[in-house]
């Protein structure tokens, strides 16, 4: 158990520090905070200009969605980066638990997603017309953590393709931006075509954003329990799928010798 925890915690932290070049403030703030800041402001002011939705609608939707930057891109870089630096082969040659290895690499990205999402809500509170009741903050925090965990599990599925594809960003880039379109971030789900709305209900973020909007509007935790539970179940399903894909692609890479093929 101690060995499992050491691989999970220490291995995850070391991998995070080694794979992400933008941990310096000069790279971190423009990459992880600058982009989300302007995304929230852009859609909020666009909504004002078009008389479409309130600031609260866009702040909540985008503040939750920007966590996908860490969940989707972070996990893609985690797997793809290990392969690019040619450390993935030796890593998978170890007898360490695969669950500990990949969950440990997911945890820093999950925490990063929570930080970015929290920053987005603070931006809305300080710069836009977004003033939720203080009593709603703990519930919003629970929704954000659950949604970010679900999104990180989805990112692990995308990252798993890094064991097979030469560039996992071929999947990560369209996945991230399609979530912006499909998950009701800036467009209400009821105005989307039926087929898009059906797909959105199978994706992370959708139910978490809906729950966060209700809570920001004054709803209680009990009234959004179904949405929150659905978001958690979707995340669990993606986590199981990610683990199975990682093991499958690992076995395939051993058989076909594809890990070192760049």
Report which secondary-structure segment, H or E, holds 50. Answer: helix 35-50
How many Cβ atoms are within 10 Å of 221's Cβ, its own excluded? 15
Q: What is the pLDDT of residues 9-38, one digit of tens each?
A: 877 777 777 766 556 666 777 777 888 889
- Identify whether the C-beta of residue 16 lies closer than 8 Å to the C-beta of residue 110: no
Using a pLDDT cut of 70, give the percent of the chain over it: 92
Confidence of residue 232 (pLDDT cuts 50, 70, 90): very high
In sequence order, what are the residues at sequence separation of 6 or more whose Cβ sits closer than 8 angstroms to the Cβ of residue 104? 7, 8, 9, 10, 11, 12, 13, 15
Say which range, 69-78, 79-88, 140-149, has the weakest mean pLDDT. Answer: 79-88
Instruction: Kindly tell me the number of DSSP H helices and DSSP E strands found in the chain.
Output: 14, 0
CA distance 13 to 6: 10
Q: Determine the pLDDT at residue 138.
A: 92
In sequence order, what are the residues at sequence separation of 6 or more whose Cβ sits closer than 8 angstroms to the Cβ of residue 236? 153
Confidence of residue 90 (pLDDT cuts 50, 70, 90): confident
Confidence of residue 160 (pLDDT cuts 50, 70, 90): confident
- The whole-number average pLDDT for the span 235-249 is 89
Q: Determine the pLDDT at residue 172.
A: 83
């Amino acid at each position: 158990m101690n060995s499992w925890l050491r691989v999970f915690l220490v291995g995850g932290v070391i991998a995070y520090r080694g794979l992400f070049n933008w941990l310096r403030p000069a790279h971190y703030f423009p990459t992880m905070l600058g982009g989300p800041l302007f995304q929230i402001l852009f859609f909020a002011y666009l909504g004002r200009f078009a008389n479409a939705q309130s600031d609260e609608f866009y702040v909540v939707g985008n503040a939750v969605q920007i966590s996908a930057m860490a969940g989707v891109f972070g996990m893609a870089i985690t797997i793809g980066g290990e392969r690019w630096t040619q450390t993935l082969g030796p890593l998978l040659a170890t007898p360490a638990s695969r669950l500990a290895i990949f969950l440990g690499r997911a945890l820093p990205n999950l925490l990063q997603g929570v930080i970015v999402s929290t920053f987005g809500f603070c931006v809305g509170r300080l710069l836009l017309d977004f003033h939720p009741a203080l009593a709603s903050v703990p519930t919003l925090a629970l929704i954000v953590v659950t949604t970010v965990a679900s999104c990180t599990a989805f990112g692990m599925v995308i990252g798993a393709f890094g064991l097979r594809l030469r560039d996992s960003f071929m999947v990560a880039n369209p996945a991230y931006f399609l979530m912006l379109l499909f998950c009701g971030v800036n467009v209400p789900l009821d105005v989307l075509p039926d087929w898009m709305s059906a797909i959105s209900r199978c994706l992370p973020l959708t139910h978490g954003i809906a729950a966060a909007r209700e809570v920001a509007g004054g709803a209680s935790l009990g009234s959004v329990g179904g949405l929150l539970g659905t978001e958690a179940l979707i995340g669990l399903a993606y986590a199981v799928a990610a683990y199975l894909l990682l093991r499958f692609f690992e076995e395939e890479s051993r058989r076909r010798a594809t890990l070192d093929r760049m």
